[in-house]
Structure 1
C-alpha cells in the first residue's frame, strides 16, 4: 500500500519543527484500535471512557506499528519523543502530544490530505431522523447516477454495501480514514450522521461539509449531556458561525427544520440557510423570511404513504411518497431541500423522490393477508415514539398495539415519559426488553410503568420474541402492531453479552414472508 505520509511530515503536522533532523520513513495509516494495526501504521494510544489505549501499545507494535502517539496533560511535554525498544534490531518512536484527543480530528484530516474537501460531505444531526435523511439523500444521489456513500447508525460504506458501525459517528481517525477511502473509490457524495456524542467528543473537527442538516431536537442522551441546554449546545456547534463554538472546519450551507423550536431560532443566526417545513400554515412565514425554503401546501395521507403538495424557492411539485407518517414528510423534504441547495436540478430531484424506498427499521411495514399489519421502527425516545404511534394511527382501522421497552444503563428520565405516550396514543401496550444491558429488566419496566395510569390494556412479557408472538396471535387483521425501539438492530444486549436478535427476522418468520416494505 502506498504510504499516506511520513514520520517527518507527521511530526510537522503535530506542530513540530521542520528543522529537526528525523528519520523520514513511510507511514500508512493512523489507527486508534490496536486490532486494526498493520505494517507501517501509527498507533494512537488515548484514554477512552472504558479503555486506556496505552495498555495496547505492545500489541500494536507486534502488529506492525512503527510510531506511537500518546496524550500528555502537560504542555511542557508536548512533542517530546521517547523510544520503545521492541527487540535488538528496532526502536519505536513514541511522541507525547498535548490535548491529543481534542486535536485528533484535525491531525487525521491533515494526515489524509483533507479528504472531505474532495467530496460533497453532508452532515446530518438531530435527535430523530438522521438515518432516514442520510439514506434518502444517498438513495436519490444513486438514482441520479452519482456514486454515494454513508456513515452512520446502520453502517459505513458505499451505498448498499455498508459495513456495520460501532457508533453513530465513528472515531475522529475512522471518519478521516473512511473519507480518504471514499476519495479513492471516486465517491461523489457522502452523507454522514453526526451525533451529539460525536460533536462533544471532537470527532468531526477536521471536517469540511458542503451542507449541514438539522432534523429536530427532543429529549435523549441526558445520561451523558445532563441538561437539554447542553444537549442543544452540542447540536448547535455543528452549525455555529462562531469560531469558538463551531465543531467543523466548514459547515457549508445549512438546511434547518423550521417546525422545530430550536431550528426556528437557529435559522435567524445562520448566514447560508434553507428553511424546511411540513406545516402548510408555515408557508407564508417561510416566504416572508426571504431565504430559500421548501414547504408544503397540503398533504394527503393514505395506506401506502403520502401525496405531498410541495412549494419551494426552486418551484412547485406533487410528490407521491412511499414513507409513512408526518415526520417522514419532514425527513423527505429535508433530503430534497439539501440536494436543491447543493444545486441538483429541481425536476430531476422531485422525480427521483417518488422512487425513494423506506429505510431498514424505520417505519418498515410487514403485512400478509388475514393478518395484522406490523411496523418495525427504531423509535427509542418519547418524541419518536409519539410520532411513530401517530403515523400508525392514520393507517389503523382496528386496534393499535405497541411493543416496546427502554435501554438499560441509559437515560432513566425518559422511561415514564414513554409509558405516558404509549398510554395516550396506543390501545394496547406490551412492555418488553429492549437492550437491558447490566440493569435489572423489571426495574426498567417499573420505571416505564411510573408514567402509566391504567393497567387494563397493559401486559408485561419480558422475552421480546414471546411478546411479538403472543401479540400477533391476539391481534386481528384490521389491527396495527408497532414494534418500537430496536429498528435495524440485529442484536440484543443482556448483561455485557451481545446476542443475535432481530425484530424484522422475528416478524418475517411469524408471518411467513421474506420481506415486504
Structure 2
C-alpha cells in the first residue's frame, strides 16, 4: 500500500516511536491483517481499545490508541512486542494521521465538499459529471457510493470514517481522478471525519428537518453543518441564498458565492453571485436562463423540478468559482444526465409516468411533489412510508405534506426495522386531516404495483423514500428490494 513506517508517521508528535514498517491502517480489528496499523478509538458504539488484543493476535505491526482515561499523550507501551502508542484527542487527529499515511491524496486533486439536508447526492454527481465533460476525470464520494463517475462502489455511510475517506481519496488518485466531489454529512463533520482535508470549494444546499434522532434539535444540526465553513480549510464557499440558513451564513461569509432562483441576493452584495432569471418547465425537464458575476447564459436541462434547477445552479457556480470557463459549462450542460434514484423518470406508452426519488424528509417530500406537479397533466400520486427506529416526529409531518400536495396518497412500508409497520403507518395518518382518504397498502412491492396499475396515462406516480436503495430492512433482516427495478418491470422498461 505505502512505504510508511511508524516513526515517520508520528514525527514530530511522538519523538520516540519505533521505526516499524506498516502495510495499511484500519479501525476494524476484524479486518486487521499482518503488518497493519490498528487504530483503537473510543467510538460511539464500542471502545476500540477493547479489541487491541484481538488485533495483536492477528499480527498487526503497531497500535495507536486513544489516550483518554488510560494514558497520557505520547505514551508508548508494548504488548507481546507490539508497540501501542497513546494519543490524546485521537478522533480529532485521525484525519491528519490518515492523510499523512496515505500521502495527502486530497492535495493531488480538486476536492469539493457538499453539505446540506437535501441535494448533496445530485449536486456532487452533477459537479463530477460536468467536470468530466470538460476533460477532467471526475469522482464522487457519498450516499450512492464512491468511485470515478459512472463506476461507483456502494458504501455504508454518506461520509466514511476519517481513515476510509483518506483511503478512498488515495485510491481515486491512483485511478487517475483529477477532481472529487464529496458529500459531507453532519455526522461526518461532528465526528471530525474530514478535519484535515483541504477543500478547493465547499457547497451548502439547504437545511431542513433530518437526523434529529442524532443531533437532538435543529440548532445543533445547523451548528454541525456550519463546521464545514467555520472549522475546515475551504477555498470557495458556494451558498444557496434561497435557504433561510444560507442567507444567515452569507452574512458571515463575505467572500462566498450567493446562488439564487428567487433574487435573494443581499442588498449591496459585494461577493460573487449567480441567479436564475427565467426557468421554463416542460415534459423533458427545464430551460434555464441565468445571470452571474461571470456573465450570462441559458441552457436546457433534463432534470425535473425546481430544486434540481437549484442543484444545477450550485454545481455551475462551484465550477465557475474554480475557474472553469462559462462558455464551456453552458455548451456542455445539455449533456448532463439525471442521477439514479433522484427524481428519476420512468415512462412507457399508455402508462402513467413514474418518478422514483430518495425523498425521506418532510422538506424533500414537499419539494419532490412540487417538482412533479410542474410536469403533471393529470392526477399526482404520492407513495411513501417512514423508516422504523428513526425520528418519529417527521411521520405526521410527511403525512400532512402528502395530503396537501398530492391528489392520491398511498402509505406503505419503508425499512420498518424493529417497529410494527402498522404502528408507523398510524403515526403518519395522525398528520392527515382526512385519514380515510389515504390508501394504506402493506408490502411495498404490492403498493407500487397497485398504484401503477390504477393510475391513468396522464398521471404521475411519485414513489418516494428509497431512490437508489436496493433493500428493505424488516426486523434485523436486509431483504432484496428495489423501487427502480419494481417500477421498470411494471412499465416494461430498463432500470
Measured against the shorter chain, the TM-score band is over 0.9
Of the three residues 241, 249, 256, the one matched with 1:273 is: 256
Whether the aligned pair in 2 keeps the contact of 1:427 and 1:457 (CA below 8 Å) is no
Whether the aligned pair in 1 keeps the contact of 2:255 and 2:272 (CA below 8 Å) is no
Secondary structure of 2:367's counterpart equals helix
Deviations 1:205-260 (A, max 9, x none): 111100000000011111111111110011111111xxxxx1x2x11110000000
Match status 1:143 vs 2:133:
yes
Whether the aligned pair in 2 keeps the contact of 1:108 and 1:206 (CA below 8 Å) is no
Residue 407 of structure 1 and its aligned partner are, at CA, apart by: 1.0
C-alpha distance in structure 2 between counterparts of 1:258 and 1:264, whole Å: 5
Secondary structure of 2:176's counterpart equals coil
Secondary structure of 1:157's counterpart equals strand
Q: Which shows bigger deviation, 447-456 or 229-238?
A: 447-456
C-alpha distance in structure 2 between counterparts of 1:385 and 1:223, whole Å: 19
Residue 423 of structure 1 and its aligned partner are, at CA, apart by: 0.4
Match status 1:164 vs 2:151:
no
Moved over 6 A (4+): none
Q: Look up the match of 1:88.
A: none
Q: Look up the match of 1:70.
A: 65
Deviations 1:97-139 (A, max 9, x none): 2221222112212333322122210000000000000000000
1:60-209 matches, within 5 Å, as 60-74=55-69, 77-85=72-80, 91-209=81-199
Question: Root-mean-square deviation (CA), in Å?
Answer: 1.6
Whether the aligned pair in 2 keeps the contact of 1:138 and 1:149 (CA below 8 Å) is yes
C-alpha distance in structure 1 between counterparts of 2:288 and 2:2, whole Å: 50
Q: Which shows bigger deviation, 464-473 or 124-133?
A: 464-473
C-alpha distance in structure 2 between counterparts of 1:222 and 1:23, whole Å: 44
Q: Look up the match of 1:228.
A: 218
Of the three residues 364, 376, 379, the one matched with 2:344 is: 364
Of the three residues 275, 283, 301, the one matched with 1:303 is: 283
Q: Look up the match of 1:483.
A: 463
Match status 1:16 vs 2:14:
yes
Secondary structure of 1:16's counterpart equals coil
Whether the aligned pair in 2 keeps the contact of 1:74 and 1:98 (CA below 8 Å) is no
Residue 52 of structure 1 and its aligned partner are, at CA, apart by: 3.5
Q: Which shows bigger deviation, 329-338 or 450-459?
A: 450-459
Residue 398 of structure 1 and its aligned partner are, at CA, apart by: 1.3
Q: Look up the match of 2:429.
A: 449
Residue 506 of structure 1 and its aligned partner are, at CA, apart by: 0.6
C-alpha distance in structure 2 between counterparts of 1:380 and 1:147, whole Å: 31
Whether the aligned pair in 2 keeps the contact of 1:286 and 1:293 (CA below 8 Å) is no
Match status 1:263 vs 2:246:
yes
Secondary structure of 2:156's counterpart equals coil
Of the three residues 303, 315, 321, the one matched with 1:335 is: 315
Q: Look up the match of 2:273.
A: 293
Secondary structure of 2:228's counterpart equals coil
Residue 286 of structure 1 and its aligned partner are, at CA, apart by: 5.6
Match status 1:239 vs 2:229:
yes
Residue 497 of structure 1 and its aligned partner are, at CA, apart by: 1.7
Of the three residues 286, 306, 324, the one matched with 1:326 is: 306
Residue 63 of structure 1 and its aligned partner are, at CA, apart by: 4.4
Of the three residues 352, 370, 377, the one matched with 2:357 is: 377
Deviations 1:346-383 (A, max 9, x none): 10111111110000000000110111110000001111
Deviations 1:435-477 (A, max 9, x none): 1112221221111111111134211112000000111121111
Secondary structure of 1:237's counterpart equals helix
Whether the aligned pair in 2 keeps the contact of 1:131 and 1:152 (CA below 8 Å) is yes
Residue 82 of structure 1 and its aligned partner are, at CA, apart by: 2.1
C-alpha distance in structure 2 between counterparts of 1:55 and 1:437, whole Å: 29
Residue 269 of structure 1 and its aligned partner are, at CA, apart by: 1.1
Whether the aligned pair in 2 keeps the contact of 1:75 and 1:98 (CA below 8 Å) is no
Q: Look up the match of 1:355.
A: 335
Whether the aligned pair in 1 keeps the contact of 2:65 and 2:85 (CA below 8 Å) is yes
C-alpha distance in structure 2 between counterparts of 1:504 and 1:496, whole Å: 23
State the TM-score, normalized to the length of structure 2. 0.96
Secondary structure of 2:378's counterpart equals coil
Q: Look up the match of 1:40.
A: 35
Whether the aligned pair in 2 keeps the contact of 1:405 and 1:434 (CA below 8 Å) is yes
C-alpha distance in structure 2 between counterparts of 1:421 and 1:506, whole Å: 25
Whether the aligned pair in 2 keeps the contact of 1:287 and 1:293 (CA below 8 Å) is no
Secondary structure of 1:26's counterpart equals coil
Q: Look up the match of 2:205.
A: 215
Q: Look up the match of 1:396.
A: 376
C-alpha distance in structure 2 between counterparts of 1:372 and 1:420, whole Å: 24
Of the three residues 54, 59, 70, the one matched with 2:49 is: 54
Secondary structure of 1:276's counterpart equals strand
C-alpha distance in structure 1 between counterparts of 2:271 and 2:255, whole Å: 9
C-alpha distance in structure 2 between counterparts of 1:75 and 1:258, whole Å: 47
